[in-house]
Amino acid sequence: HVQLVESGGGSVQAGGSLRLSCAASGYAFNSMGWFRQAPGKEREGVAGTYTTNGRTDYTDSVKGRFTISRDNAKNTLFLQMLSLKPEDTGMYYCAAAYYILGVYSSPENYNVWGQGTQVTVS
């Protein structure tokens, strides 16, 4: 059974940090990413990573503050978030694709999604 399970969300004050985890099962995905969605806004690609070359991509607003990483042995994806801002608030989703993606930030390219974990920064 292919699934993604996120954990690690919570409520923090501005300037704080959180680490999100996404445990994948059932398949070793070639591309994985993190998305977020704030109330009333579209789902936004935050970061992506690719198994074959280890390349990582980030949306401009999180560069220098967020780090995406992956433990291939445990089939787990992480998102380390530092210097959090209120505008980082939203539901964070882990996503995975069977293929290597050219663009990490297009939700329609992903095959499997997690249930989401809430991040609130005040």
pLDDT mean for each 10 residues of the chain (122 residues): 95 98 92 95 95 88 97 94 98 94 88 97 98
pLDDT at position 54: 82
CB-neighbour burial class of residue 71 (10 A; exposed 0-12, middle 13-18, buried 19+): exposed
pLDDT at position 9: 96
pLDDT at position 102: 80
pLDDT at position 100: 83
Largest CA distance in the chain: 38
pLDDT at position 91: 98
pLDDT at position 37: 97
pLDDT at position 105: 87
- Whole-number Å distance between alpha carbons of 84 and 29: 28
pLDDT at position 76: 95
